[in-house]
């Protein structure tokens, strides 16, 4: 009995000792875990501080210092649309031994390329879609993102400089104004950007002069119309979706008027053909979205706002006064019409008020995301996150990198780490409509192919409808952009041109298909109608219910 008790007591003491060691071990583990957690948080904090310190180097002060060291003279051409400011700047460019035109759109760069060569000035074309070499060319017409800052020019023309405030693309105008290397730099801008651009130039003590331009044909508000039967030859009807564009063109076609159509998703070559038809008189009217508001020179007599609301990616909203003025300014081509007239189907008071006021001065220039980030060891995701979190500086905004961050996330860490950082950055900043799931998926499949040393597969979308043709064109464009980033010439440019021709043919037959119709009788519904049945069927239904 005694021995058993002693054994029991001994086992109890041993058990107690084991529990004590386990407790000490557990406590030590918690301390080590806390210590590891603290070190991890400290490392995380230090990395964030290092990233912020790095990004803060690339503010406007660096651009100013580099700009001060350059020998340049600036000429500002300030005026509204149809005031001849770009024309005057091009005269200086055509007379130069070497020069570059920098514009916001492929179509606009193409127009300048055509103009130069027609005037006997050899000019090359450089856009994200194509590079047309011309033997002996001394001028380049280019989209602004492709500006070559290593070259020295006699004359540079920077067009539509009010876009320096655009959160997605404005950084390209910032870089061009600060860094394009030309003895003479002509900047064309709307009046609302004057204070902003002058502030930029004065910030690095630039020598500049101002040429003010007034509209060559006065712009007047001419009242309200009630329907499309009042549309006349030379008119441009403005709506804000592709469906509305095609439906309106179908209505006008039934009224005996052939319409050229212009909207954002229309490929540049197709848009160019629609512009040509109107300018040549093959089509008598234009139906367009706000894509007409910049970079398209058309002989328009009257601009008619059929709609005054547009979807901005979040909700439907009314146009701002600046947007109304930009679009309305396309009326009244100098040398063809004595004046430009502006009309509205609905809310004429909004249009009249916008035309009677001056635009508000823009406040911010956009600082571009620094490409020097490619050379760091920081992940792009962290760089993009911290870039967006940096404090706001009055007068400046930072380039929006959310689309690049989205594509990076879609790609995933494993594939991203397998790519050279320079190439990775080029791939995730490739122009892709991130709201189109099919295009994003095609981009992802193409980048995966590139990551293993293969070329992207040719996209295969249905091309028997307008939607399908436009999707196939966009996918081919994504492929073209990706191939350029890996140094491969795209052999399928002819296919894109064939698609453009097919799109132009489909536009002739598809316009009427987009008109909403009464679900009961099949008659066309009025534009903007929120109901599924026409007034006649609605009232007939009410009479029937009353009889019952």
**Which one-letter DSSP state was computed for residue 162?**
G
Which range is least confidently modeled, 205-219, 280-294, 482-496? 482-496
Architecture of the domain whose range is 219-355: 3-Layer(aba) Sandwich (3.40)
Residue, of 24 and 394, whose pLDDT is higher? 394
| Residues of the chain above pLDDT 90, percent | 54
Question: Can 60-212 and 219-355 be said to share one CATH topology?
Answer: yes
Residue holding tokens 């509305």? 244
Mean pLDDT of 118-130: 90
Rounded to whole angstroms, the Cα distance separating 131 from 126 reads: 5
Which range is least confidently modeled, 30-44, 83-97, 235-249? 30-44
Torsion of Cα atoms, 469 then 473 then 475 then 477, to 10°? 180
Q: Output the average pLDDT for the chain.
A: 86
Hey, where are the domains in the chain? 1-56, 60-212, 219-355, 380-511, 516-547
pLDDT for 12 equals: 47
Banded model confidence at residue 174, pLDDT cuts 50, 70, 90: very high
| Residue 146 predicted with pLDDT over 50 | yes
CB 304, CB 231: distance < 8 Å? yes
pTM above 0.85, yes or no: no
CA distances from 168 to 18, 78, 163, 258, 365 (A): 65, 23, 10, 36, 11
Mean pLDDT of 498-504: 86
| Residue 193 predicted with pLDDT over 70 | yes
pLDDT for 528 equals: 46
Which range is least confidently modeled, 2-16, 210-224, 294-308, 523-537? 2-16
| Residue 16 predicted with pLDDT over 70 | no
**Gyration radius from the chain CA atoms:** 30
Torsion of Cα atoms, 426 then 428 then 431 then 433, to 10°? 170
pLDDT for 196 equals: 95
pLDDT for 72 equals: 97
Banded model confidence at residue 21, pLDDT cuts 50, 70, 90: low
Banded model confidence at residue 118, pLDDT cuts 50, 70, 90: very high
Rounded to whole angstroms, the Cα distance separating 307 from 5 reads: 98
| CA end-to-end distance (rounded Å), the chain | 104
pLDDT for 89 equals: 96
DSSP assignment string, 76-144: EEE--TTSSHHHHHHHHHHTSSSEEEEES-HHHHHHHHHHHHHTT--EEEE-SS-EE--TT--EEEEEG
CB 127, CB 104: distance < 8 Å? no
CA distances from 455 to 19, 156, 479, 485, 495 (A): 64, 36, 9, 11, 17
| Residues of the chain above pLDDT 70, percent | 87
pLDDT (tens digit per residue) in 331-382: 988 778 889 999 999 899 999 999 988 878 898 999 999 989 999 989 999 9
pLDDT for 532 equals: 56
Mean pLDDT of 321-332: 90
pLDDT for 61 equals: 83
| Residue 188 predicted with pLDDT over 50 | yes
| Residue 46 predicted with pLDDT over 90 | no
| Residue 540 predicted with pLDDT over 90 | no
To which CATH superfamily is domain 60-212 assigned? P-loop containing nucleotide triphosphate hydrolases (3.40.50.300)
pLDDT for 36 equals: 73
Banded model confidence at residue 8, pLDDT cuts 50, 70, 90: very low
């Amino acid at each position: 009995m005694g021995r058993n008790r002693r054994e029991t007591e001994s086992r109890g003491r041993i058990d107690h000792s084991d529990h004590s060691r386990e407790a000490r071990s557990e406590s030590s583990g918690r301390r080590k875990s806390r210590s590891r957690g603290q070190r991890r948080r400290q490392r995380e904090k230090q990395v964030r501080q290092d990233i912020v310190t790095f990004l803060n180097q690339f503010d406007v002060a660096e651009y100013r210092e580099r700009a001060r060291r350059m020998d340049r003279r600036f000429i500002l051409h300030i005026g509204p649309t149809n005031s001849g400011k770009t024309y005057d700047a091009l005269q200086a460019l055509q007379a130069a031994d070497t020069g570059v035109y920098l514009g916001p759109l492929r179509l606009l760069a193409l127009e300048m390329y055509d103009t130069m060569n027609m005037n006997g000035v050899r000019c090359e074309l450089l856009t994200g879609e194509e590079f047309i070499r011309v033997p002996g060319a001394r001028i380049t017409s280019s989209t602004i993102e492709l500006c070559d800052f290593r070259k020295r020019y006699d004359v540079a023309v920077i067009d539509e400089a009010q876009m320096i405030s655009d959160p997605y693309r404005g950084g390209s105008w910032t870089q061009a104004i600060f860094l394009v290397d030309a003895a003479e730099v002509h900047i064309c801008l709307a009046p609302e950007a004057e204070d902003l651009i002058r502030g930029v130039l004065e910030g690095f003590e630039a020598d500049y002069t101002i040429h003010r331009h007034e509209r060559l044909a006065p712009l007047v508000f001419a009242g309200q119309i009630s329907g499309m039967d009042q549309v006349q030859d030379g008119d441009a009807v403005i709506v804000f979706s592709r469906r509305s564009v095609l439906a309106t063109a179908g209505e006008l076609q039934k009224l005996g008027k052939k319409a050229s159509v212009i909207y954002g998703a229309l490929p540049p070559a197709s848009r160019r053909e629609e512009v040509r038809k109107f300018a040549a008189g093959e089509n008598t009217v234009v139906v367009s979205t706000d894509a007409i508001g910049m970079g398209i020179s058309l002989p328009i007599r009257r601009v008619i706002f059929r709609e005054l609301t547009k979807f901005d990616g979040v909700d439907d909203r009314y146009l701002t006064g600046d947007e109304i003025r930009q679009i309305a300014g396309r009326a009244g081509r100098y040398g063809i019409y004595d004046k430009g007239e502006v009309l509205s189907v609905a809310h004429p008071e909004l249009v009249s008020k916008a035309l009677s006021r001056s635009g508000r001065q823009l406040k911010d220039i956009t600082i571009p995301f620094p490409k020097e980030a490619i050379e760091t060891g920081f992940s792009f995701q962290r760089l993009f996150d911290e870039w967006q979190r940096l404090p706001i500086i009055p007068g400046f905004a930072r380039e929006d990198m959310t689309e690049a961050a989205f594509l990076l996330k879609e790609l995933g860490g494993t594939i991203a780490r397998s790519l050279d950082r320079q190439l990775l950055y080029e791939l995730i900043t490739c122009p892709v409509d991130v709201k189109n799931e099919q295009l994003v998926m095609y981009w992802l499949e193409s980048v995966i192919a590139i990551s293993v040393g293969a070329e992207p597969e040719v996209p295969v979308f249905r091309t028997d409808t307008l939607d399908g043709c436009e999707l196939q064109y966009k996918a081919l464009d994504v492929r073209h952009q990706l191939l350029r980033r890996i140094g491969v010439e795209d052999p399928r440019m002819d296919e894109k041109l064939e698609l453009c021709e097919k799109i132009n043919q489909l536009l002739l037959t598809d316009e009427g298909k987009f008109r909403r119709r009464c679900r009961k009788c099949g008659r066309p519904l009025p534009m903007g109608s929120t109901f599924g049945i026409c007034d006649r069927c609605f009232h007939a239904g009410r009479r029937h219910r009353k009889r019952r």
